[in-house]
A and B are shown apart, each in its own frame.
Chain A
Amino acid sequence: MSETRSLFSDAQLRRGRARWVYFVVLTLLTLLFAAAFLFPMYWMVIGSLKEPAELARPIPTWIPESFHPEVYVQAWNELNIGRFFLNTAFYAFGAWLVQLVVDVTAAYALSKLRPVLGNVVLGAMLSTLLLPTAALLVPAYLTISDVPLLHVNLLDTPWALWLPSAANAFNIYILKQFFDQIPDELLDAARMDGAGSLRILVSIVLPLSRPVLAVVSIFAVIAMWKDFLWPLLVLQEPRTQTLSVALSRLSATGRVPLTEVMAGLVIASVPMIAAFLVFQRSILKGLTAGGLKG
């Protein structure tokens, strides 16, 4: 292993007094990160497991006196958290599927079929990265409530989330970048064998693109799971709501036991934290590689 160095070299950090300073800083930093970033999550989990009376005490307990995991069953059934969880999972799955189908076919056409004016189309798509989402909120809402040409109302339907999520220039950009690196000779050889464009996409391009498809998939699911404002506007029917929107509504009523709200928060967080621990490499890489907001 070659010695990497930054402000200090490894040798400097190993010498006499510096070594002590280094270990003091390392310990303090470790504790600081634990207190700042991990402790709130711990508080959320034990808050959900305490008895309501214990949670309401002015002097909090650091470790619950009694554990009540049954609150999760109550929240799942009585607050309907189960339904909202499944809604959110369904929306995330659909967003993933719609984004893959729409954005992969577009990136493939722009990269390998190279139609007339392809660059103009790509430019028009990339320019939407400049649009703050906020600026489109009102007209996009009106569009969903009465889609031009088709004159259907998509409010309270999954399409209200799925179709706008497919208009994702960031996806098309990184997919196209990846497809550009696949040699044309491979595709030409398949064409000689009589494969059509769709066949080539499915049997040659997609199997080679697993890494980029993974990144797009992970970000599609995360974005849908985290979204709040757009689902708040287009899903007004309580039955159709996402976990975030439903929790916001339920907590505002003030009639729901705090332990059950806490359980709802934990249920909403677990899939994201699990996904992060499993895919942390791709997620952190995708973040720095893009340099754009994912």
Chain B
Amino acid sequence: MSDTPHVTGASPRARRPARRRRRAADNGLAYGFLTPAISCFALFSWYPLVRGVILSFQQVNFVSDPEWVGFANFSAIFHDPLFWTAWWNTVKFTGIALAFGYVVPFFLAVVVNEMRHLKGYFRVAVYLPVMLPPLVVVLLWQYFYDPGNGLFNTVLRGLHLPESQWTQSPRMAMVSLVLVSTWANMGTATIMYLAALQNIPGELYEAAELEGANVWQRLWYVTIPHMRFILAVLLMLQIVATMQVFIEPFQLTGTTNPDTITVMVLIYRYAFTVNHDFGMAAAMSVLLFVVLGAFSMAYIRLISREGTRA
């Protein structure tokens, strides 16, 4: 204890440690509140990301310690004929899925937006399949697709049209998977398009009409330019989502079918069925991550650009 005379109203020098102590207590408290979340993120997001990259250069078995194998995992998957098949199938799936699930909802939303009745019904109906568990959807469609007496072939037979083998025909299998997936997910895109359409000011259409624009010109010069942002956002989101397709091929055509094996199914196969090789699965995941990361980055740039403009 020093015997300096006591000063009321603490000198700056004496106040600072006190404030720092309080700040420290506050920070301690705040990080106390943050601890559960940080632990969850650390264990299940941040660490797995790093570990995934490390794993892709390792040979793992659960008996001895993992050993470094350089690019052996990558070279192993590059030499697997299924690797190229899976990528090609995934790109094909994404392409067809965009044609159905990105373009069709746009026109559907434009037409629904013109309706002056039953708006609520259209919204609920189109979004209902999105609420179903995906596994329910694929099993239901599996039964529709049944070549013998599934609903689709029964209807085609009734109309005297040629029947299809659907998921069991090499030519139709991929389209069949896209149809299921689109049916289950198109509600999301439709609802988002509708929300964007409702934000277009009516005066713009008035003005275009006064200029003598017909309905197609109004669609082209007023509607589409205003939808640019949502069109770009949904394009990115749908590419990222459809490239991760798993449940449709897994349930409808199995994990061994070369006509429909996708990147995610192959990752599953490397890790959990045929190979039991986590290194190969991790290498495949890293490649998928790099490809999808590019699209994700584009998406984030879009969002933040829009944020600064708004």
In the bound assembly, the distance between CA atoms of A291 and B31 in angstroms comes to 30
A140 in contact with B48 (CB, 8 Å): yes
Task: List residues of chain B with CB within 8 A of the CB of A121.
Answer: 34, 38
Task: List residues of chain B with CB within 8 A of the CB of A214.
Answer: none
In the bound assembly, the distance between CA atoms of A285 and B148 in angstroms comes to 42
Given A109-B30, A138-B281, A164-B40: A6 touches B192 (CB 8 Å cut-off): no
A-facing mask of B121-142, CB < 8 A → 1, else 0?
A: 1111111110111111001101
A6 in contact with B34 (CB, 8 Å): no
A136's contact among B52, B140, B142, B223, by CB below 8 Å, is which? Answer: B52
B-facing mask of A113-141, CB < 8 A → 1, else 0?
A: 11110100100110010111111111111
A139's contact among B36, B48, B246, by CB below 8 Å, is which? Answer: B48
Say yes or no: is B69 at the interface (Cβ < 8 Å to chain A): no
A-facing mask of B93-112, CB < 8 A → 1, else 0?
A: 00000000000000000111
Among A25-33, A67-75, A180-188, the one that faces the other chain is A25-33
In the bound assembly, the distance between CA atoms of A9 and B110 in angstroms comes to 14
A40's contact among B37, B144, B246, B264, by CB below 8 Å, is which? Answer: B144
Say yes or no: is B174 at the interface (Cβ < 8 Å to chain A): no
In the complex, the chain B residue whose C-beta lies closest to that of A198 is B33
B197 in contact with A132 (CB, 8 Å): no
Say yes or no: is A86 at the interface (Cβ < 8 Å to chain B): no
Most chain B beta-carbon neighbours within 10 Å: one of A43, A56, A110, A229: A229
Given A139-B282, A228-B135, A287-B191: A128 touches B41 (CB 8 Å cut-off): yes
In the bound assembly, the distance between CA atoms of A38 and B129 in angstroms comes to 9
Given A60-B154, A108-B33: A226 touches B303 (CB 8 Å cut-off): no
Given A29-B115, A243-B133, A247-B139: A143 touches B36 (CB 8 Å cut-off): no
In the bound assembly, the distance between CA atoms of A248 and B23 in angstroms comes to 54
Number of interface residues of A (CB under 8 A): 99
A4's contact among B55, B133, B191, B202, by CB below 8 Å, is which? Answer: B202
Q: How far is the CB of A292 from chain B (nearest CB, A)?
A: 8
Say yes or no: is A91 at the interface (Cβ < 8 Å to chain B): no
Say yes or no: is A13 at the interface (Cβ < 8 Å to chain B): yes
Q: How far is the CB of A227 from chain B (nearest CB, A)?
A: 8
Given A276-B128, A293-B237: A113 touches B30 (CB 8 Å cut-off): yes
A-facing mask of B231-244, CB < 8 A → 1, else 0?
A: 00100010011011
Task: List A residues at the B interface (Cβ < 8 Å).
Answer: 3-10, 13, 22, 25-26, 29-30, 33-34, 36-38, 40-41, 43-44, 47, 56-60, 101-103, 105-106, 108-110, 113-116, 118, 121, 124-125, 128, 130-143, 147-148, 163-164, 166-167, 169, 172, 197, 222, 225-226, 228-229, 233, 243-245, 247-248, 251, 258, 261-262, 265, 268-269, 272-273, 275-277, 280, 283-284, 287-288, 291, 293
Other A-B contacts than A138-B282, A273-B131, 5 sampled, CB-CB below 8 A, are A13-B116, A125-B41, A225-B133, A247-B135, A269-B131
A/B interface sample: 28 pairs, CB < 8 A: A6-B200, A13-B114, A25-B111, A25-B114, A26-B117, A30-B118, A37-B126, A37-B128, A58-B148, A59-B154, A106-B36, A124-B46, A134-B264, A134-B285, A136-B52, A136-B285, A137-B268, A138-B281, A139-B52, A143-B47, A167-B41, A222-B131, A228-B133, A228-B135, A228-B247, A265-B139, A276-B127, A287-B191
Task: List B residues at the A interface (Cβ < 8 Å).
Answer: 23, 26-27, 29-31, 33-34, 36-38, 40-41, 43-49, 51-52, 55, 110-118, 121-129, 131-136, 139-140, 142-144, 148-149, 151, 154, 183, 188, 191-192, 195, 197, 200, 202, 205-206, 215, 218-219, 223, 233, 237, 240-241, 243-244, 246-247, 251, 263-264, 267-268, 271-272, 278, 281-282, 285-286, 288-289, 292-293, 296-297, 300, 303
